[in-house]
């Protein structure tokens, strides 16, 4: 059986330049198999492009489960699966587009990304927005049972608000151990926040199992 390349998001606590500076020396610690929980073993790695001010290559570690025989790419939490840009850049584009209503062309220019790329992020977010909003509200309520009040007029606004609410509640509960907002987004979605709908984007890392990860 052909196995799909799967990603795990690792709360790395490093910014891009610190990560890059380590080159192939990057250590990702012990990760658990997302399928069975078994501790994963080292399985090499690969170079991956990152767009930014000065496009760079970074080393992504790969780990493998001896039980499931599947290998997993261990992504730093400043990335999303299959996306060339830092998650923070993607998040900024979404906020500018959804909250301020700025056009995609000026947004892409401001962030230094191709217009088609920015448009694709927005389109994918739009497609996933209802699922994202629902799961993020569920996560927020698990973190703190107070109701989540959304003023959003559509699914995309609701998803952004629900992300903010769950992030704030995670911060209140776990303090500084919780990464920045967009890294948090990547972490809890297993890197698939802008993934296609073959699998629910937030299924693997929502809720209690994710809370264990954050320590
Ligand atoms: Zn396994």
Ligand 1 geometric centre to CA of 40 (Å): 8
Both tokens of 109, joined, read: 């220019």
Specify the pLDDT at position 198.
Answer: 55
Give the relative orientation of helices 104-111 and 87-99 as an angle to the nearest 10 degrees.
150
Ligand 1 geometric centre to CA of 133 (Å): 29
- As a 3-state breakdown, the chain gives helix, strand, coil percent values, each rounded to 5, of 45, 15, 40
For the chain, give the mean pLDDT: 88
Both tokens of 63, joined, read: 């780990």
Closest CA to 75 of 40, 53, 41, 48: 48
| Spatial separation of the C-alpha atoms in residues 62 and 6, rounded to whole Å | 10
The model's pLDDT over 105-133, given as tens digits with 9 standing for 90+, comes to: 999 999 999 999 999 999 999 999 998 99
The model's pLDDT over 138-196, given as tens digits with 9 standing for 90+, comes to: 999 999 999 999 987 899 999 999 999 999 999 999 998 899 999 999 998 889 899 87
The neighbouring-strand residues paired with 74 are 8, 61
Q: How confident is the model at residue 201 (pLDDT cuts 50, 70, 90)?
A: very low
Please give the share of the chain, as a percent, with pLDDT higher than 70.
89
- Per DSSP, the residues of 172-194 read HHHGGGSPPHHHHHHHHTTT-TT
Please report which helix (H) or strand (E) contains residue 213, including its range: helix 208-213
- Three-class SS state of 119: helix
Ligand 1 geometric centre to CA of 69 (Å): 7
Helices marked H in 67-180: 87-99, 104-111, 115-143, 155-174
Ligand 1 geometric centre to CA of 35 (Å): 5
Please state whether beta strands 71-76 and 6-10 pair in parallel, antiparallel, or not at all (unpaired): parallel
Ligand 1 geometric centre to CA of 70 (Å): 7
Ligand 1 geometric centre to CA of 51 (Å): 32
What are the residue boundaries of the structural domains of the chain, listed by start?
6-76, 87-213
Ligand 1 geometric centre to CA of 211 (Å): 20
Ligand 1 geometric centre to CA of 6 (Å): 12
Ligand 1 geometric centre to CA of 155 (Å): 35
Distance between start and end Cα atoms, the chain: 35
| pTM for the structure as a whole | 0.90
Both tokens of 98, joined, read: 């959804």
Ligand 1 geometric centre to CA of 64 (Å): 8
């Amino acid at each position: 059986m052909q196995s799909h390349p799967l990603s795990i998001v690792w709360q790395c606590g490093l910014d891009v330049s610190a990560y890059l500076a380590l080159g192939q020396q990057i250590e990702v610690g012990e990760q658990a198999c997302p399928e069975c929980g078994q501790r994963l073993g080292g399985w090499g790695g690969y170079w991956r492009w990152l767009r930014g001010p000065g496009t760079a290559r970074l080393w992504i570690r790969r780990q493998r489960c001896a039980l499931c025989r599947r290998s997993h790419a261990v992504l730093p939490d400043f990335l999303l699966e299959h996306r060339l840009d830092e998650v923070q850049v993607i998040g900024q584009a979404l906020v500018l587009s959804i909250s301020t209503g700025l056009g995609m062309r000026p947004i892409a220019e401001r962030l230094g990304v191709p217009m088609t790329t920015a448009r694709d992020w927005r389109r994918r977010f739009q497609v996933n927005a209802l699922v994202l909003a629902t799961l993020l509200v569920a996560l927020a309520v698990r973190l703190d049972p107070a109701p989540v009040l959304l003023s959003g007029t559509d699914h995309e606004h609701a998803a952004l608000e629900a992300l903010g609410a769950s992030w704030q509640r995670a911060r209140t509960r776990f303090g500084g151990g919780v990464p920045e907002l967009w890294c948090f987004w990547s972490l809890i979605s297993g890197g698939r926040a802008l993934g296609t709908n073959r699998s629910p984007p937030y299924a693997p890392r929502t809720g209690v199992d994710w809370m264990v990860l954050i320590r």
